[in-house]
Structure 1
Amino acid sequence: MIGDGTGRHVAVVDLGYGDAGKGTVVDWLCASRPVKAVIRFNGGGQAAHNVVLPDGRAHTFAQFGAGTFHGVPTHLSRFVVVDPLALAGEAMHLAGIGVPDALDRVTVDREALLATPYHRAANQAREIARGADRHGSCGMGVGESMSYALAHPDTAPRVGDCLDEGLLRHRLTLLRDRLTAELGPLDAPPVADTVTAFTAFARRVSIVDRSWTARLLRAGTVVFEGAQGVLLDEWHGFHPYTTWSTTTYGNVDTLLAEAGMPGTATRLGVLRVVTPRHGPGPLVTEDPTLRPPERHNGTNAWQGRFRFGHFDAVAHRYALDVTGGVDALALTHLDLVGAHRLRLCDGYDWTDRLPVGPPGDLDRQAALTAKLLASRPRYAADPEPEPAAWMAAVETALGVPVRLTSHGPTAADKVARLIAAAGR
């Protein structure tokens, strides 16, 4: 798909802690070829995929696919936690910068969980109660929605409920009452107001069943757009500094298999020439003196500081191991090369490859986290201060070809490299 046509579709996943540039890569993919749809396959309203157009217009995509500027429809699969209020706010911003019809091009799987004002209020209350031990939550209620659904699978509010006002009111009331009984009064609107907003959402977008995804995949090229990063994965990330979401290719594989099209997506892993992280948790290569300009990310009340580390090949090898590998890499922020002294960490003081365990053993992941918090980086010889040297260094360190490079924020700043694909 990117140079050799090995896959009909493309699945874009961040192989770090997020913020590597998934949005700008998806924007380029949708600008450079016909794309039937962008399918979101994890996360929810906490995603923040920044896209800048050549004319200077910019938008931070959360639930809309990052191909929206190019008229590409968005499908929110059942693996997305859908926030109707945040989606409406995002649509308003898009309308203000020249995209008035974004909601007309959204389809939503009826089985997707809803993130409500009650989930958001409970999420924020829990995070505040952690004090100095905060996990770095975005405070949007996505994890709270997942947690509630695990505890109450038969009554957790879902998108399809928005088509039945009585059922929606019942489930929202039950949700509010349960959370209030546990946490005390919540800073959230009355149920009646939420019902009004959510039923309006149901009238505005197309709510579909899971067969819709298969139809999209058979109709043309689809770009799967991931959220967060593999190192934050709910099962393989460094617990407890993780997200309530499967950030690997697992959900993509499930959707393709259900459509009878397994293995038809090129796996594209996205990395920066630096390794950033938003909020607390391990960042072995963190360097407080490394302060590249960051227009779209910064410290906020929920996630905390936006931190930078040097390129961490050990962490990214681990991401490759837990995903089962990728076909190609997109390497972003190459415009930083030469302007900053960037280094490449090829090992820690105790290993050059992290052990991968079975999913679900959170005690094991917490022990690995503790070890990482005490680890020290071991740096390779510095690559020459030019992009080509960095591409070669990353390919050597990870054993995967760099097939797309990004030298700035717009699609015009991307360069596809037509080289032989690596097999997984």
Structure 2
Amino acid sequence: MQHVIVVDLGYGDCGKGTVVDHLCATRDVHTVVRFNGGAQAAHTVVLGDGRKHTFAQFGSGTFRPGVRTHLSRFMVVDPLTLAAEADHLVGLGVHDVWSRLTVDRAALLSTPYHREANRAKEIARGADRHGSCGMGVGEAMAYALRHPDDAPRAGDCTDPPLLRAKLRRLRSNLGVDGPPVDACVEAYAAFATTVSIVDGLRIEGPCVFEGAQGVLLDEWHGFHPYTTWSTTTFANAETLLAGEPAYRLGVLRTFTTRHGAGPLVTEDPSLPVTDPNNPANPWQGAFRVGHFDAVAHRYALDVCGGVDGLALTHLDTASAHPDLRMCVDYDGVKPTRGPTGDLDRQERLTRAMASSRPRLVPVDDWTAAVEEQLSAPVVLESHGPRSEDKTSTDSAPTVAARVTC
């Protein structure tokens, strides 16, 4: 079999969900594995019959019959929003969503108390907000670092007395309001009886590993402090695979975007490009648009160790907007990878990025230009949101017939 790891090479929102759905629609995929992030993901999938869902925690292959989802130990799981997402999927005709889901018992829980603490911190930053999604995912990660033995995890939902004690300490330590602890314990106990909580990932067939956010937001190599509390490269997926080979697929748009604060060197407010799936919101802020930033994407490739192939999305947008350009160089810093964990260096890089200016060139053939600038083959072209709008080249990843391994 061949597994596929799908990673966003931008600031997120490049179309990972629609790429994962296409892989599951055209190949025999057993499980979609979520390997970073949490309920803040927003991976929109549109089917040919018009059904539409924005996937947050369920894998973006869930519309495809029989495709399972595994929430790995690197995920931050929010049982309350997961239940709401399941209800929406059931309403769209996917009636077996719960039976196709497994959750690693070691996965951290994101609770209403984390969310309250997260939002309070962002409000306190005033004009210096980092652009959090306001879902409490980063706060859950931070709390687990400060209190590793007390951080609530998915497995604790099967032990209400233990979970109750952890939630009481959590609420006290964070100093926040929120729903009564007993109400949360009751909801999480119901979650434990609904899902299959397991010890680790058991690979029973070809898997698609679905990343969240983007490499340019990586916790160690993104442009600090406008980053996520998550490793957004291929690293977590490769850890879960434990040596099994996988195809590394990087996803890019024909224009570069970011949601919220932080550097976007190619930003151009005059571009008549919008994205109805990514409106402004009070926590992340505005959805910003710029020309294709080959410099930043080359940096992302360097950070994540390269790819086997690229999926290029929004080619229909490029066709409709010939004023889109490609940035091939900066008048300023040339971002290069630094040592993992040197956040002071990353913050200096962020300041340098903010003062850089792009050198833009016109593009006649987007696929050829991206391949030339990034030195990687485009193996999947997307001209719209549906699987039917995508075409694969001969070098695209294949997933073998389902086998047990």
Per the normalisation by structure 1, the TM-score is 0.92
The percent of aligned pairs where both chains have the same amino acid is 66
Q: Does residue 230 of structure 2 align to residue 249 of structure 1?
A: no
Correspondence for 2:328 among 343, 346, 361: 346
Q: Counterpart in 2 of 1:400?
A: 376
SS of alignment partner, residue 301 of structure 2 = helix
SS of alignment partner, residue 314 of structure 1 = helix
Tell me which amino acid in the other structure corresponds to 1:346. V
Structure 2: distance between partners of 1:278 and 1:293? 12
List aligned pairs for 1:79-98, cutoff 5 A. 79-98=74-93
SS of alignment partner, residue 69 of structure 1 = coil
Q: Counterpart in 1 of 2:102?
A: 107
Structure 1: distance between partners of 2:274 and 2:166? 45
Gaps of 5+ in 1: 1-6
Q: Aligned-pair distance for 1:350? A: 2.8
Q: Counterpart in 1 of 2:55?
A: 61
Q: Counterpart in 2 of 1:207?
A: 197
Q: Does residue 209 of structure 2 align to residue 224 of structure 1?
A: yes
Structure 2: distance between partners of 1:103 and 1:270? 28
Q: Counterpart in 2 of 1:174?
A: 169
SS of alignment partner, residue 63 of structure 2 = helix
Structure 1: distance between partners of 2:60 and 2:221? 26
Q: Aligned-pair distance for 1:420? A: 8.6
Per the normalisation by structure 2, the TM-score is 0.96
SS of alignment partner, residue 275 of structure 1 = strand
Q: Counterpart in 2 of 1:155?
A: 150
Structure 2: distance between partners of 1:311 and 1:66? 25
List aligned pairs for 1:250-399, cutoff 5 A. 250-257=235-242, 260-261=243-244, 264-340=245-321, 341-350=323-332, 353-380=334-361, 382-384=362-364, 389-399=365-375
Structure 1: distance between partners of 2:185 and 2:74? 23
Q: Does residue 11 of structure 2 align to residue 17 of structure 1?
A: yes
Structure 1: distance between partners of 2:27 and 2:116? 41
Structure 2: distance between partners of 1:203 and 1:113? 18
SS of alignment partner, residue 130 of structure 1 = helix
Tell me which amino acid in the other structure corresponds to 1:350. G
CA RMSD of aligned residues (A): 1.1
**Deviant stretches of 4+, over 2 Å:** none
**1:117-165 alpha-carbon deviations (Å, 9 max, x no partner):** 1001110111111111100000000000000000000111000000001
Q: Counterpart in 2 of 1:128?
A: 123
Q: Counterpart in 2 of 1:4?
A: none
Q: What is the number of residues matched between the two proteins? A: 395
Cα pair 1:291 1:308 within 8 Å, conserved:
no
Gaps of 5+ in 2: 398-405
Structure 2: distance between partners of 1:247 and 1:417? 26
Cα pair 1:298 1:305 within 8 Å, conserved:
yes
Structure 1: distance between partners of 2:272 and 2:46? 21
Q: Aligned-pair distance for 1:297? A: 0.6
Structure 2: distance between partners of 1:113 and 1:292? 37
